[in-house]
Amino acid sequence: MAKELFYSDAKWSGEGVKILLESRGHRWVVDEPESLGGKDEAANPVEYVLGGLASCLGVLISAFSPAFQVELKDFRVHVEGDLDPDGFLGKAPVRTGFQEIRYSIEVESDSPRENQDRLLEHIQKICPVKDTLQGVSVLPLEGVSAL
């Protein structure tokens, strides 16, 4: 299968730190809590990163459960991460991104436990967002410049 290009475009809303995003015609908003200069009208970028991991694991559970003979009743994915804002605020020489991200998955199913375990093992191996968070180059396209 050929590579597929995914994208997101961001534009300033004209208000504070609120950003308007678009991908494939889908739109969403990013903001910051008041403590970080926003109006707390939407999740912030790092919360979207955590949500990306949680939802990717969730999509894979849903998609692959039939192949592992797991009949789902329900499931939940919880993701949390430690981040010190002093890093990106320039207040301390600490990492600017997450220092650690942790997740838990709870599956409710009457299917055999070994099937559920195999499903969970598989989706953790193939999750594209988890793989990306473990290390990928992030490079500017055609440089970065002021408008």
- The overall average pLDDT reported for the chain is 93
pTM of the model: 0.90
Mean of pLDDT values over 91-108: 93
Contact (Cβ atoms closer than 8 angstroms) between residue 86 and residue 92: yes
Contacts of 103 (CB under 8 A, 6+ apart): 53, 54, 57, 77, 78, 79, 80
Encode pLDDT of 25-62 as tens digits: 999 999 999 998 999 999 999 999 999 999 999 999 99
Whether the per-residue pLDDT at 144 is higher than 90: the answer is no
